[in-house]
Amino acid sequence: MRHSVLVPGSKRLNPPEVLDRTAISPIADKAYWPTIEVRSGRFCPCPGPASSSFFDPMHTVTEKIFIPAETRSLDTADPTRKIPGDEGRQVQEGTALCLSGGGYRAMLFHLGALIRMNELGFLKKLNRVSSVSGGSITAGILGLKWRKLIFDGRGVAANFAEEVTHPIQGLAGATIDVGCIARGLFLPGSIADYLARAYHEHLFGNATLQDLPNEQSGPRFVINASNVQSGALWRFSQPYMWDYRVGKVKEPIVSLSRAVAASSAFPPVLSPMTLDLRPFRFEPNSGQDLQRPPFTEQAVLTDGGVYDNLGLETAWKRYEQILVSDGGGALEVEEHPHRNWFAHAYRVLFLINNQVGALRKRQVIRSYKDGSRSGAYWGIRTNIADYELPDAIRFDRKRSLALSAVPTRLARLDKATQEGLMEWGYAVSDAALRKHVVSRENGVASLCPSKGN
């Protein structure tokens, strides 16, 4: 089977080069190429990646395969799931920050990035912060303290360290997962309930979702969990909590500790978190197909990263500029995997999460390249040299890889590891932001986030 394919803006492939039907797929991925011109073949009905055709080399025709706009947008790299109401929605100007999961490792990595964003005056420009799992711990304290931040004329909060950095570092010095598991196993109440109590004690106190900033006072903070019953995303925010299948509750009085615990209830040990919905009134007809008992009486929730491990869902569909901070850890090789069911299940869950995260990452970066979104991605496993920024902060590659291997736990980290994670988040976000987003007039940073703002 020989034919040539001519794509606008590409080189021409002619016989005797052989291009089989599956090779059209990566070409069709480019949304900015509206047609593919195919020569030396006859169209015959057959499912295919770019058209419903295959080619009979015994006949010669010239055809242009038009790739419909909706297909092009899907091929481009939309990393989110379409739900009712998305049809025809246009993204708007604005900037959203997405914070991934990864336990204390991600919590501190994101903190370093927030410190650098604050220094650049970029923090105050955010319209939305969407988070899952460990990222929700960082987002939760930032949202809670937002009204206390004192921004100067440059958009820099001079009291960021006092209000945000120090409380998060305090939590990072305490192990909470083991105690929660032990209490949940041997005392009344679930493990997730005790996790919420730990967050209450160390970070959030009696704060509720209504203590997060409203649209007039700051960005919207969306803390994401996964609904085990509906298979959809459960969103906690100040104006509402919502599962598109179950329905929407406006201005919910839910403790911030409980919302963050649901978002970070990593299975199988910290999950599930049950939320009693009976005190709440659902907005009529706000759920697609499950707005009825038992779904409106109790929500069974697990880690937000199960559904969306980068926290993209509630940001990607809304804003044109997307910043992604990825604190997800590396999948280490295991020469002799555990055979017991619990350890094996944990390994398989981590493998699935790692693969889904890698796919979403590729889709995000491809979207930056094809222009469907602007922004920047930085990850804990990123090689800072890849940004090709001459004045990037020096950070040893071996050290950054060692930091990416910090276990995904809510367990005490020593001071050196805490500062290392913060410094790495600071350095790599600085490179990503100055390369792709922020004017270079801000100059080069010094590497001391734990001592600065």
Q: What is the mean pLDDT of residues 143-172?
A: 97
pLDDT at 27 over 70: no
Region 384-403 average pLDDT:
95
Taking the C-alpha atoms of residue 141 and residue 328, their distance in angstroms, rounded to an integer, is 20
Report yes or no: 304 and 226 within 8 Å, Cβ to Cβ: yes
- Hey, is 87 helix, strand or coil? coil
**Position of tokens 């009529």?**
284
Model confidence pLDDT, tens digit, residues 160-204 = 999 999 999 999 999 999 999 999 999 999 999 999 999 999 999
**Rg of the chain over CA atoms, in angstroms?**
24
Q: Torsion over CA of 126, 239, 91 and 141, rounded to 10 degrees?
A: 30
The residues near 330 (Cβ < 8 Å, ≥ 6 apart) are: 381, 401, 404, 405
Residue 291 pLDDT:
98
| Dihedrals phi, psi of 198, to nearest 5 degrees | -65, -45
Is 253 a residue whose pLDDT tops 70? yes
Residue 154 reports pLDDT greater than 80: yes
Please list the residues that pair with 301 across neighbouring strands: 227, 273
Higher-scoring residue by pLDDT: 259, 215: 259
Residues 342-351: tens digit of each pLDDT: 777 767 776 7
332 vs 73, more confident: 332
Number of H helices, E strands in the chain: 13, 15
Token representation of residue 143: 């949202």
What is the SS3 assignment for 21? helix
Band of pLDDT at residue 37, cut at 50, 70 and 90? very low
Residue 147: HSE in the Cβ half-sphere, 13 Å Cα cutoff: 9
d(CA 228, CA 290): 13
pLDDT band at 47 (very low <50, low <70, confident <90, very high): very low
Beta bridge partners of 293: none
Q: CA angle 245-97-270, nearest 5°? A: 60
Mean pLDDT of the chain, nearest integer: 82
CA proximity to 98, closest of 115, 114, 119, 120: 114
Confidence tier at 341 by pLDDT (50, 70, 90): confident
412-424 pLDDT, tens per residue?
999 999 999 999 9
Query: Above 60 in pLDDT, residue 352?
Result: yes
Distance CA 224, CA 428 (A): 25
State residue 281's pLDDT score.
97
For the chain, percent of residues with pLDDT exceeding 90: 65
pLDDT over threshold 70, residue 100: yes
In residues, how long is the chain?
453
